[in-house]
Amino acid sequence: MRRPLVAALAGVLLVSACGSFSSRINPFNWGRHASAPQEDTLTPKGGYPAMEPTGPLVPKVTALKVERTPTGAIVRATGLPPYQGYWDGSLAATNDGEPDQNGVMTYRFILKPPPAPTNASTAASREVSVGAYLSASKLRRIRQIVVEAQSNRMTARR
Protein backbone atom coordinates (compact mmCIF):
# COMPACT_ATOMS: atom_id res chain seq x y z
CA MET A 1 0.00 0.00 0.00
CA ARG A 2 2.92 2.27 0.60
CA ARG A 3 4.33 1.81 -2.87
CA PRO A 4 1.17 2.90 -4.74
CA LEU A 5 0.82 5.85 -2.35
CA VAL A 6 4.43 6.93 -2.92
CA ALA A 7 4.03 6.47 -6.69
CA ALA A 8 0.80 8.49 -6.70
CA LEU A 9 2.38 11.24 -4.58
CA ALA A 10 5.43 11.36 -6.91
CA GLY A 11 3.08 11.56 -9.93
CA VAL A 12 1.08 14.41 -8.37
CA LEU A 13 4.26 16.35 -7.59
CA LEU A 14 5.56 15.80 -11.11
CA VAL A 15 2.31 16.93 -12.74
CA SER A 16 2.04 19.95 -10.42
CA ALA A 17 5.48 21.08 -11.59
CA CYS A 18 4.10 21.24 -15.13
CA GLY A 19 1.39 23.60 -13.96
CA SER A 20 3.67 26.58 -13.45
CA PHE A 21 3.37 29.10 -16.25
CA SER A 22 7.10 29.51 -16.69
CA SER A 23 7.85 25.81 -17.02
CA ARG A 24 9.23 24.59 -20.35
CA ILE A 25 7.69 21.18 -19.64
CA ASN A 26 4.14 22.58 -19.63
CA PRO A 27 2.62 21.82 -23.07
CA PHE A 28 0.52 25.01 -22.91
CA ASN A 29 3.74 27.04 -23.07
CA TRP A 30 5.14 25.32 -26.14
CA GLY A 31 5.64 27.80 -28.95
CA ARG A 32 4.71 30.87 -26.88
CA HIS A 33 8.28 32.00 -26.32
CA ALA A 34 9.39 31.38 -29.86
CA SER A 35 10.83 34.53 -31.33
CA ALA A 36 9.49 35.90 -34.59
CA PRO A 37 11.59 34.84 -37.56
CA GLN A 38 14.19 37.45 -38.37
CA GLU A 39 14.30 38.70 -41.90
CA ASP A 40 17.70 38.18 -43.45
CA THR A 41 18.57 41.06 -45.75
CA LEU A 42 21.63 42.75 -47.12
CA THR A 43 20.04 46.20 -46.97
CA PRO A 44 22.00 48.45 -44.60
CA LYS A 45 20.22 49.96 -41.63
CA GLY A 46 18.67 53.23 -42.68
CA GLY A 47 18.54 52.13 -46.34
CA TYR A 48 20.79 52.96 -49.23
CA PRO A 49 21.96 56.53 -49.80
CA ALA A 50 20.49 58.37 -52.76
CA MET A 51 22.70 57.80 -55.77
CA GLU A 52 22.76 60.61 -58.26
CA PRO A 53 24.63 60.13 -61.50
CA THR A 54 27.97 61.86 -61.40
CA GLY A 55 30.70 62.28 -63.92
CA PRO A 56 31.96 64.73 -66.48
CA LEU A 57 29.56 66.62 -68.70
CA VAL A 58 29.55 65.85 -72.39
CA PRO A 59 31.55 68.56 -74.22
CA LYS A 60 28.71 69.54 -76.57
CA VAL A 61 24.96 68.93 -76.91
CA THR A 62 24.07 68.66 -80.60
CA ALA A 63 20.34 67.88 -80.51
CA LEU A 64 17.40 68.08 -78.12
CA LYS A 65 13.95 66.69 -78.77
CA VAL A 66 10.88 66.33 -76.54
CA GLU A 67 8.59 63.55 -77.72
CA ARG A 68 5.05 63.37 -76.32
CA THR A 69 3.72 60.04 -75.10
CA PRO A 70 0.23 59.13 -73.81
CA THR A 71 1.50 59.33 -70.22
CA GLY A 72 3.94 62.25 -70.44
CA ALA A 73 7.02 62.96 -72.53
CA ILE A 74 10.49 61.65 -73.29
CA VAL A 75 13.35 64.14 -73.36
CA ARG A 76 15.98 62.92 -75.81
CA ALA A 77 19.37 64.59 -76.17
CA THR A 78 22.36 63.82 -78.38
CA GLY A 79 25.89 64.77 -77.41
CA LEU A 80 29.26 64.73 -79.10
CA PRO A 81 32.23 63.54 -77.01
CA PRO A 82 35.80 64.18 -78.22
CA TYR A 83 36.51 60.54 -79.13
CA GLN A 84 34.82 57.13 -79.21
CA GLY A 85 34.22 54.91 -76.21
CA TYR A 86 32.19 57.16 -73.90
CA TRP A 87 29.53 55.18 -72.09
CA ASP A 88 26.84 55.16 -69.36
CA GLY A 89 25.23 58.39 -70.49
CA SER A 90 22.38 59.94 -68.55
CA LEU A 91 20.38 63.10 -68.13
CA ALA A 92 20.76 63.99 -64.46
CA ALA A 93 17.97 66.26 -63.27
CA THR A 94 18.98 69.16 -61.06
CA ASN A 95 16.82 70.60 -58.26
CA ASP A 96 15.90 67.08 -57.01
CA GLY A 97 14.14 66.31 -60.29
CA GLU A 98 11.62 69.12 -59.93
CA PRO A 99 11.17 72.24 -62.06
CA ASP A 100 12.23 75.52 -60.47
CA GLN A 101 9.80 78.34 -59.57
CA ASN A 102 9.85 79.60 -63.19
CA GLY A 103 8.87 76.19 -64.60
CA VAL A 104 12.38 75.40 -65.91
CA MET A 105 13.47 71.75 -65.75
CA THR A 106 17.27 71.48 -66.03
CA TYR A 107 19.25 68.36 -66.91
CA ARG A 108 23.00 67.78 -66.91
CA PHE A 109 24.20 65.55 -69.79
CA ILE A 110 26.67 63.18 -68.12
CA LEU A 111 28.92 60.63 -69.85
CA LYS A 112 31.63 58.38 -68.45
CA PRO A 113 34.88 58.41 -70.40
CA PRO A 114 36.57 55.25 -71.62
CA PRO A 115 39.47 53.93 -69.50
CA ALA A 116 41.99 54.86 -72.20
CA PRO A 117 41.74 57.33 -75.10
CA THR A 118 40.51 55.79 -78.33
CA ASN A 119 40.22 56.90 -81.95
CA ALA A 120 38.42 60.13 -82.72
CA SER A 121 36.94 58.92 -86.04
CA THR A 122 33.90 60.71 -87.51
CA ALA A 123 31.42 62.82 -85.60
CA ALA A 124 28.57 60.41 -86.44
CA SER A 125 30.45 57.49 -84.85
CA ARG A 126 31.04 59.44 -81.61
CA GLU A 127 27.45 60.63 -81.05
CA VAL A 128 25.74 59.46 -77.87
CA SER A 129 21.96 59.70 -77.29
CA VAL A 130 20.32 59.60 -73.88
CA GLY A 131 16.78 60.11 -72.63
CA ALA A 132 14.69 60.87 -69.57
CA TYR A 133 10.98 60.37 -68.92
CA LEU A 134 8.69 63.10 -67.61
CA SER A 135 5.25 62.19 -66.27
CA ALA A 136 2.19 64.13 -67.41
CA SER A 137 1.69 65.60 -63.92
CA LYS A 138 5.25 66.92 -63.83
CA LEU A 139 5.03 68.08 -67.44
CA ARG A 140 2.08 70.36 -66.55
CA ARG A 141 4.37 72.42 -64.29
CA ILE A 142 7.19 72.67 -66.86
CA ARG A 143 7.45 75.57 -69.33
CA GLN A 144 11.04 75.04 -70.45
CA ILE A 145 13.49 72.11 -70.58
CA VAL A 146 17.24 72.83 -70.54
CA VAL A 147 20.03 70.31 -71.20
CA GLU A 148 23.51 71.49 -70.14
CA ALA A 149 26.90 70.41 -71.51
CA GLN A 150 30.43 71.73 -70.92
CA SER A 151 30.45 74.26 -73.75
CA ASN A 152 26.77 74.84 -74.54
CA ARG A 153 23.17 74.25 -73.53
CA MET A 154 20.03 73.56 -75.51
CA THR A 155 16.51 74.60 -74.62
CA ALA A 156 13.06 73.33 -75.57
CA ARG A 157 10.04 75.55 -74.81
CA ARG A 158 6.30 75.05 -74.98
CA atoms within 13 A on the CB side of 104: 10
Average pLDDT over residues 103-130: 90
Average pLDDT, the chain: 84
Predicted local distance difference test score (pLDDT) of residue 23: 63
Q: For residues 102 and 141, what is the distance between their CA atoms, to the nearest angstrom?
A: 9
Q: Where are the domains of the chain?
A: 1-29, 61-157
pLDDT confidence bin for 155, thresholds 50/70/90 = very high
Whether the predicted model's global pTM rises above the 0.75 cut: no
Predicted local distance difference test score (pLDDT) of residue 131: 96
Predicted local distance difference test score (pLDDT) of residue 129: 95
**pLDDT tens across 38-56, in order?**
677 788 887 777 666 677 8
Taking alpha carbons only, the member of 152, 133, 132 closest to residue 57 is: 152
Predicted local distance difference test score (pLDDT) of residue 61: 96
